[in-house]
Amino acid sequence: MDYQIAIPSYKRPETIKKKTLKVLESYNIDPSRITIFVADEEELGKYKDSLKDTPYQKLVVGVHTIGAQRNFIEKYYPEGTKLVMFDDDVEEVQKKISEQKLGRLEDLEKEFIIPGFEECEKVGAKTFGIYAASNAYFMKERVYTKLCYVIASMFGVIVDHDPFLERVTNHGEDYEYSIRQYVKNGAVVRFDYLTVKSNYYKEDGGLQTIRTKEYVYESIKKIAEMFPELCTMYIRESTGNAELRLKDMRKEIGNTLRSEEHTSELQSH
């Protein structure tokens, strides 16, 4: 199967080398498939220095902020491209072994990338991903295709340049994108027995440079207001952060929402 890998990265030239690129190397992924997208020319220089002795030399200057960068990345590739996107701080790709245990995924291509695109074709979806939490107890041995959260740390997409799919948020942009993909296509694909190990909120660089409780709140509130029929905002007591609960719906309702939101989003750009 022909596919490409894209890694958006910001202020993490050493992290990406020690983590995500090391993980991809462990799966013998051809470096020619992999493109790293940085925010500006200054960042490009830092990444070139960090990666000069590695086979990862495909670097592209995109734009600032992760939501806009992911939009840029998808426009960079022709429509129909099978694209897998990784965060730059993935430490391990994991599989549920038992109720209490996770283990390293043995073959990234055969167990995630190829099945992901095949499942999308079966159900008419254009994006697939993994369970968000690295916790075997909550994970299930199933492929879920209803409305759900497809976390951006590792996901696949069949590139579609429809403006409706463009993200307008940064924090929570993967929630927003999951909803947009579901509204347009009537399904998303999630492998609930797969996940990744990552520091998320604890790693320097990335969205951490601008993320505050207020920023999180405003981003989540915006998504909830854009798609009130599909999600509700709540405050998690343990963290004090705003989060979303997604609600499934019938496909025909989704088609109506897509038409309305397409119009409003085009007017906002």
Please give the DSSP secondary-structure letter assigned to residue 25: H
Beta strands in 139-193 (DSSP E): 143-144, 154-158, 189-191
Q: Is the pLDDT score of 173 beyond 60?
A: yes
More confident residue, 261 or 113: 113
Give the rounded percent of residues in the chain with a pLDDT score beyond 70: 88
Residues 176/244, Cβ–Cβ less than 8 Å? no
More confident residue, 259 or 154: 154
pLDDT digits (tens, 9 = 90+) for 42-87: 999 999 999 999 999 999 999 999 999 999 999 999 999 999 999 9
Q: CA angle at residue 218 from 183 to 175, to 5 degrees?
A: 30
Query: In terms of DSSP bridges, do strands 102-104 and 59-61 run parallel, antiparallel, or are they unpaired?
Result: unpaired
State the pLDDT at residue 249.
65
Q: Is the pLDDT score of 8 beyond 60?
A: yes
Determine the Cα–Cα distance for residues 101 and 195; give it in Å rounded to an integer: 12
Residues 127/157, Cβ–Cβ less than 8 Å? yes
State the pLDDT at residue 202.
57
pLDDT digits (tens, 9 = 90+) for 186-215: 999 999 999 999 985 555 554 555 558 899
Q: How many other C-beta atoms lie within 10 A of the C-beta of residue 242?
A: 22
> Given phi > 0 = left and psi -120 to 50 = alpha, else beta, which region is 124?
left
